[in-house]
Amino acid sequence: MAPALLLEQAFNGVQFGMMLFLLAVGVTLIFGIMNVINLAHGSMFMLGSYFLMQWIAWTHSYAAGVVLALLAIGILSLLLERTIIRPLYRHGHLDQVLATFGLVLFFNELVIVLWGRDPLYIAIPSFLSGQVRLFEGAAYPAYRLAITAVAVLVGVALYLVIAKTRLGMLIRAGAEKRLVVEMMGVDISRIYMLIFALGGVLAGLAGMMTGPLLAVHSGMGEPILVLTLVVVIIGGIGSIRGALIAALLVGVLDTFGRVLLPVVFGTGTGNALSNMTVYILMAGVLLWRPSGLFPSHAS
């Protein structure tokens, strides 16, 4: 394979990995701190794309569309936490799975009612529609570089908040000693509400940035949620560092697997193997470290 193509696929893998990281952070924090299994997380990814598309149509501005779509996802996440998720705190994981799976079905049908069944497309903003020359003979889409840069900046900002602020200290403490945090007089319900909203906004942001690269359709959040859960399991539940490293591993492995394996083994066998690579990685990690690469106590 030509060096230029290898470099392009490496960039694609990193970009995909950073998208998975934005999703995995929400899942790992919601489960690691709130002890809630939220299958509707992928729905926020889907709704991020739909909200962006609708707000662009109304405002005729990509920037305004992003801001308003993020605000809408944040408000929706707060409402869901208050009305649906909060009563589930005292229930077992089976109840949480059933309730949030119900939300998945509800949102999938809702977007069909509002936007129809046909796939929709979001145009790449004109100022990012060109290509950037990486070196002689190798160019890469400017939009893909931009969303990778945004994901990296969001990841850095999230790290600084979690590692350097009082709020981050309470979040990290709540991940391991929820009862102690409550005994210190902290309103843990507000922390939970903020974490859930943050997870929803990050998932929505990932959907907004990925939307112009995909066909936006009902149910688009479920496949990405499965990969997100794989990332969380590999990285270690509750670990932001683990989510980042695992997301990059999965993103690069999945991207190169889909490009190289069909060439090496033929289309049929190669495609089947490429669909298995990340799950083989997950199985190997669990055999070596059952708690994942970076359990929460190592965050």
Residue boundaries of the structural domains of the chain: 3-298
219: left (phi over 0), alpha (psi -120 to 50) or beta: left
pLDDT of 261 strictly over 90: no
- CB environment 203-217: b (16+ within 10 A), e (fewer): bbbbbbbbbbbeebb
Q: What's the mean pLDDT in 252-265?
A: 86
CA 32 – CA 219 distance, rounded (Å): 26
pLDDT of 1: 56
In the chain, the amino acid numbered 99 is A
What percentage of the chain exceeds 70 in pLDDT? Answer: 92
pLDDT of 174: 65
Dmax over CA atoms of the chain, in Å, equals 62
pLDDT of 297 strictly over 60: no
pLDDT of 298: 40
Domain 3-298: give its CATH code.
Answer: 1.10.3470
pLDDT of 283: 92
CA 282 – CA 82 distance, rounded (Å): 34
- Across the chain, where does the E strand assignment appear? 131-135, 138-141
pLDDT of 22 strictly over 50: yes
Cβ atoms of residues 231 and 252 within 8 Å:
no
Answering whether pTM is above 0.85, one says yes
pLDDT of 16: 92
pLDDT of 187: 74
β 131-135/138-141 pair status: antiparallel
Cβ atoms of residues 127 and 138 within 8 Å:
no
Over residues 29-66, the pLDDT tens digits come to: 888 778 888 999 999 999 999 999 999 999 999 999 99
pLDDT of 120: 92
Q: What's the mean pLDDT in 271-278?
A: 87
Query: Which has more confidence, 231 or 171?
Result: 231
**Element counts in the chain: helices (H) and strands (E):** 11, 2
Give, in order, the Cα–Cα distances in Å from 101 to each of 39, 48, 76, 84: 6, 18, 17, 12
What's the mean pLDDT when you consider all of the chain? 87
In the chain, the amino acid numbered 62 is Y
DSSP letters, 35-94, are ----TTHHHHHHHHHHHHHHHHHHHS-HHHHHHHHHHHHHHHHHHHIIIIIGGGTTS-HH
pLDDT of 178: 67
pLDDT of 192: 85
- CB environment 99-125: b (16+ within 10 A), e (fewer): bbeebbeebbeebeeeeeeeeeebebb
pLDDT of 136: 67
In the chain, the amino acid numbered 200 is G
pLDDT of 197 strictly over 80: yes
Over residues 111-170, the pLDDT tens digits come to: 999 999 999 999 888 888 888 887 666 778 889 899 889 988 988 888 888 878 887 777
Cβ atoms of residues 240 and 295 within 8 Å:
no
Q: What's the mean pLDDT in 245-270?
A: 87
Q: What's the mean pLDDT in 205-232?
A: 92
